[in-house]
Copies of this chain bind each other. A is one copy, B any other.
Amino acid sequence: MSKKNKSHKSALKEQDGITPPEVLSSLSANFIKSKRQQQPSIRELVDGISSGNITALSRAITLVESTNPKHTQKANAVISACLPLANKSVRVGITGVPGVGKSTFIEAFGNYLTSNGKKVAVLAVDPSSSLSRGSILGDKTRMEDLVKDKNAFIRPSPSGDSLGGVARKSRETIILCEAAGFDTIIIETVGVGQSETAVHSMVDFFLLLKLAGAGDELQGIKRGIIEMADAIVINKADGDNLRAAKSAKVEFNRALHLYPEKESGWSPKVSLCSAIKREGILEVWEMIEGYVETTKASGYFERHRNSQNRFWLLQTIEERLKSNFYNSKKIKAQLKTQIELIEAGKTTPFAAAEYLLGL
């Protein structure tokens, strides 16, 4: 306290009943410290996860999702320790436009699996969730039964400013879930931006959920989605919709016929279901089992996972190289100018690139 302050009676000092701020700080520091000490260690988290403890799994995922570098460091250590226990699941990606009944389908599908002895983790990849505060899976009440199911684990999309960030977190969460004994990982996406591509590159089987309804339904599918699908499942194929669903099945089969054979050797299938009536769910699972059996026998299953890993390695490297370059002050200052010069016909893209790389 300065001499000047000492020389007059402070208004604060007169109020004796109020705890001085110094003491408050010290109290809260101790409180925070004791809370910190309650945080499980890396060993405790790994032991918890490997024995299937959901609290430990959730805490580890929270570390993965954190932007605090200390948390990231701890998360990396947990993931490293979990790696030998991972990779033993079937990873299924599910996409479809809003309104197609994804939550109802996942609930029916998940319940079917758990009642057949499976342990199911449901994750979401939604790069828009930081804005919309979780547009998918955010409202767990939409999967009431599955939430109560002891053999199911539901986790909303991590939030993050970039798809790359969200995708990394989801891929690491898959490892943690597998280490916790989940043998079927379902990854849902609403298909914002390139999120289907990201999900496609982290799953073994990619399922496109569609609505019953004639040829018009084929419209509005994002470019490339049909090509990525291992199966198209037409939902709400019941009652008055059944006829339309059957004709949509014919139409989709024709569409799939247009594409060349997949590297997996698998011919994508179209099937009908009514998630709300729990019909056609068994057929979807049998199809996935058939896929896993065939591709494991051919060696494609493992080759595919290896190639996905290489993809994520190179993808991560290249994203970082780009962000380092474009975020540098020198480049930021000059990039716009060079683009303007190109548009004015005063330089070529190649000459501009040379110039920027030489800065």
Contacts and interface: CB of A to CB of B under 8 A. Distances in A.
A321 B320 contact: no
A260 B345 contact: no
11 contacts: A80-B348, A83-B345, A171-B350, A224-B227, A306-B342, A313-B338, A313-B349, A313-B352, A316-B349, A318-B321, A321-B357
A227 B223 CA distance: 8
A345 B87 contact: yes
Interface stretch (A146-154, A214-222, A286-294): A214-222
A42 interface: no
Given A175-B348, A223-B227, A224-B224, A356 B317 contact: yes
A353 interface: yes
Given A322-B318, A356-B317, A357-B320, A260 B351 contact: no
Contact of A260 (B168, B220, B318): B220
A247 to B, nearest CB: 14
A84 interface: yes
A242 interface: no
A309 interface: yes
A353 B224 contact: no
Contacts of A316: 349-350, 353
Interface stretch (A24-32, A181-189, A251-259): A251-259
Interface in A331-359: 338-339, 342-343, 345-353, 356-357
Contacts of A315: 349
Given A316-B350, A320-B353, A325-B321, A218 B83 contact: no
Q: How many copies of the polypeptide does the oligomer hold? A: 2
A114 to B, nearest CB: 27
A275 interface: no
Interface in A85-131: 86-87
Given A316-B350, A320-B353, A343 B309 contact: yes
A250 to B, nearest CB: 12
Contacts of A226: 258
A300 interface: no
A84 B313 CA distance: 43
Interface of A: 76, 79-80, 83-84, 86-87, 168, 171-172, 175, 215, 218-224, 226-227, 254-255, 257-260, 306, 309-313, 315-318, 320-322, 325, 338-339, 342-343, 345-353, 356-357
A222 B309 contact: no
A345 B257 contact: no
Nearest to A345: B83
Contacts of A312: 349-350
B223 A260 contact: yes
A318 to B, nearest CB: 6
Contacts of A311: 349
Nearest to A85: B345
Contacts of A339: 309-310, 313
Contact of A76 (B172, B221, B317, B351): B351
Given A226-B258, A309-B342, A317-B353, 5 more contacts: A83-B345, A219-B260, A311-B349, A313-B349, A321-B321
Nearest to A218: B258
A348 B317 contact: no
B318 A318 contact: yes
